[in-house]
């Protein structure tokens, strides 16, 4: 039985990735920070469909807790007759409201770095001994960090740390290639998730202008990204590494 660990798997893109990975017969260990009930509901849905899943709390901004998390994860794996797992999806994140460069505070900067770079970096490092040879790692980056992006004022911190994730993807793909571990990233465009206090649910008037700027005529949905993440972690993507795959419906094309 293959096993995937998906951070931020209680809602949005991470939850969709958990469902898609489980459909492929892979057991899923998903993490959550504040959404325990949503995480448990995700587990129940996977199990109802005949899959195997479990949920554990994790704050990716707290590297001091990663060793304890690894120990708990090891116990879960033992219950599944495994000592390693095959796929790490580093997806957990937080949204950032638009804040102009001159108004950016050290606290906001630190939060973005801790959640989107420092946390994923050291969580991957902590879990690396548990990742099986020929396994895979997928980071959830952002189209805002791509060279082709048209910068939107107010997101200099968010885009910068997501850009660092893309660089990290390439460097880890090289360093971990000796073990056959593939490392890729997916770059979503504007996607309907719970980040930003459910902004699109609260402000549906924001959707049409974004859809007009997207080649396929709508904003992204979590399921659009879940299928891409499941693909990148699957054997079908076995010859893909060091890549950042844009999945945006042609945003700003």
Is 75 a domain residue? yes
Is 212 a domain residue? no
Q: What's the whole-model pTM score?
A: 0.94
Is 204 a domain residue? no
Is 66 a domain residue? yes
CB 22 within 8 A of CB 16: no
Is 10 a domain residue? yes
Digit-coded pLDDT (tens) for 107-139? 999 999 999 999 999 999 999 999 999 999 999
**Residue 89 CB coordination number (10 Å):** 30
Which DSSP string do the residues of 232-249 spell out, in sequence order? HTSGGGTT--S-EEEESS
Digit-coded pLDDT (tens) for 139-192? 999 999 999 988 999 999 999 999 999 999 999 999 999 999 999 999 999 888
Is 211 a domain residue? no
Please, what sign has the CA dihedral across residues 108, 111, 117, 118?
positive
Q: Name the residue range of residue 191's domain.
A: 3-195+222-247
């Amino acid at each position: 039985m293959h096993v995937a660990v998906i951070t931020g798997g209680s809602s949005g893109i991470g939850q969709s990735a958990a469902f898609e990975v489980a459909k492929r017969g892979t057991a899923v260990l998903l993490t959550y920070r504040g959404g325990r009930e949503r995480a448990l509901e995700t587990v129940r849905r996977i199990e109802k469909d005949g899959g195997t899943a479990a949920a554990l709390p994790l704050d990716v901004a707290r590297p001091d807790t990663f060793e304890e998390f690894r120990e708990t994860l090891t116990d879960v794996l033992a219950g599944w007759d495994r000592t390693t797992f095959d796929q790490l999806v580093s997806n957990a994140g937080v949204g950032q409201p638009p804040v102009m460069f001159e108004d950016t505070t050290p606290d906001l900067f630190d939060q973005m770095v801790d959640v989107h770079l420092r946390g994923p970096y050291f969580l991957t490092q902590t879990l690396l001994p548990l990742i099986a040879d020929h396994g895979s790692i997928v980071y959830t980056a952002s189209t805002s960090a791509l060279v082709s992006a048209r910068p939107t004022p107010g997101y200099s911190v968010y885009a910068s740390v997501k850009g660092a994730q893309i660089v990290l993807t390439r460097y880890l793909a090289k360093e971990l290639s000796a073990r056959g571990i593939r490392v890729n990233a997916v770059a979503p465009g504007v996607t309907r998730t719970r980040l930003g206090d459910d902004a699109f649910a609260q402000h549906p008037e924001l959707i049409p202008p974004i859809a007009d700027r997207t080649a396929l005529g709508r904003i992204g949905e979590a399921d659009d990204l879940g299928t891409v993440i499941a693909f990148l972690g699957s054997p079908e993507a076995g010859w893909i590494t060091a890549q950042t795959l844009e999945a945006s419906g042609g945003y700003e094309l």
